[in-house]
Structure 1
Amino acid sequence: MSLNNKQQKTQAIIKAACHYFLQYGYNGATTDLIQKKAGVSKATLYNHFPTKESLFASVVNTQCKHFIEQVRAISLPDTHFSESLFRIGEAYLTLLLAPENQALFRAVVAEAPRFPGLAKTFYDAGPASILPVIAEAVNRALQKHELADNGCEPLRLATDFITVLRGQSQMYCLLHPDFIPDQNIIAEWVSEAVDILLNQVSLP
């Protein structure tokens, strides 16, 4: 379905705003820059988004929605638990460490005190969105007796795995913005996280 003129302008503004917010952060992205890149007048910009705050919120919500859609596309492989965990972790970490997602992380964290609601939205789109997939992998492994059922809690194990997976890799990339890890490095980080988790659980 084709977009009407107003919808096209809204999308153009959000796209331009996303470019500058991710590149320069909230304070560095001016409405003048955004308006010119979007190809609209200042009046049109403020007609669609009355404040810079509302525009930033729209950008974050749009990016979070896109991220969630990509996370939900990560399927649960029908393989042994360790292999399933590796594949899920690899897909998630590749997505997480993409330059545009790291830039969004920096922008949101920097403005979290000003926009606490957006910070929660960002968290729900990031760490929280992948937890059910990993928890389901744990449940499946328990049912297939690939893990010993000694009272392990799937959601807790999923949280532990994501905490380890994100830890060193995301911190390194955040502090080295010019560094883009290749698949070999990502695979190494994921393997380390899988090994750490497997050391926590009892194998049959």
Structure 2
Amino acid sequence: MSKKSQNTVETFDEERTVGRPKSSEKRLQILKSASDLFLSHGYKLTSMDAVAKSSGVSKQTVYSHFANKDSLFNAVIELKCITYQIDSSNLNLSAAPLPDILEEIGIRFLHLFTDPDIIDMYTLIIGESRSNAHVSKLFYEAGPERSLQLVTDIIYTHPDVALAQMSAKEAAADFFNLLEFDFHMKSILHLPYNMPPSKFKAHARKTAHKLMSIIQHASH
């Protein structure tokens, strides 16, 4: 795990570990080890035995938290989203104007997209996709598809917007296309890209305003 990513997760852990049961601590320990192994060896070559050994727990303990490798991989991706507060429990923003909500969630996604572990995960999945379509499907469902649904729900349920659910989903797809620009493709190809944290707010705000124009046009 990269130093930047590790620091982020450690900060998150400190905020969430107070009074946490040991079983929860072991679950997080397993997820951290699994994340490192998936990134180092890929999905196919990472076994539940290896995860147990790396985590310092028994294989039975791993299976008590995760039914199989698929559910473990899904949880690794989900943990990244939670780390950057990109989940429904951290996005209770319905009272705020929609442009402000989109800007805020845009900033969070930009932090996620530029996380070195996420960039490496994209590269890994692309590399395995031809020989293992199953892992591509898992990654898409746990990451991009879940994120798309999250933004769709935010747009669809906001009181200031009157869009059909399908139109809200199309707007959510536009949101990510605008937000990712070309830096996301460059990052997963390991090409230099110009998207430092200092630019996140301005880029997220521009994305939010562009999307509002699209939504307003679709509403008429």
Sort the TM-score into its range (normalised by shorter chain).
0.5 to 0.7
Unpaired segments ≥5 residues, structure 2:
1-20
Q: Which of 115, 128, 143 is the aligned partner of 1:98?
A: 115
Indicate yes or no: 2:172 matched with 1:158. yes
Name the SS for the 1:111 alignment partner: helix
Mapping for residues 124-143 of structure 1, pairs under 5 Å: 124-141=141-158, 143=159
Q: How many residues align?
A: 186
User: Match of 1:200, SS?
Assistant: helix
Report the Cα offset of residue 82 of structure 1: 1.2
1:117 maps to 2:134? yes
Q: TM-score, normalised by structure 2?
A: 0.61
Distance 1:63 1:76, change over 3 A: same
Alignment partners' CA distance in 1, 2:33 and 2:165: 50
Cα 1:153/1:23, change in 2 over 3 Å:
same
| Correspondence 1:139-150 to 2 at 5 A | 139-141=156-158, 143-144=159-160, 147=161
Cα distance between partner residues in 2 of 1:200 and 1:152:
14
Letter in 1 for 2:104: R
Q: State the Cα distance separating 1:123 from its structure 2 match.
A: 1.0
TM-score of the aligned structures, taking structure 1 as reference length: 0.65
1:4-33 CA-to-partner distances (Å, cap 9, x unmatched) read: xxxx6x98776455325424656998xxx9
Over 3 Å counting, the alpha-carbon distance change for 1:59 and 1:114 in structure 2 is farther
Partner of 1:71: 86
> 3-state DSSP class of the match of 1:85?
helix
SS of aligned partner of 1:156: helix
Post-superposition offset of 1:67 = 3.3
Q: Deviations over 1:62-114 (max 9, x none)?
A: 31232354421344352222111111111122123211111111111211122
Secondary structure of the residue aligned to 1:114 is coil
- Would the aligned equivalents of 1:150 and 1:202 in 2 still touch at CA under 8 Å? no
**More deviation in 102-111 or 13-22?**
13-22
Do the aligned residues in 2 keep the contact of 1:76 with 1:133 (CA within 8 Å)? no
The answer as to whether partners of 2:183 and 2:195 remain within 8 angstroms in 1 is: no
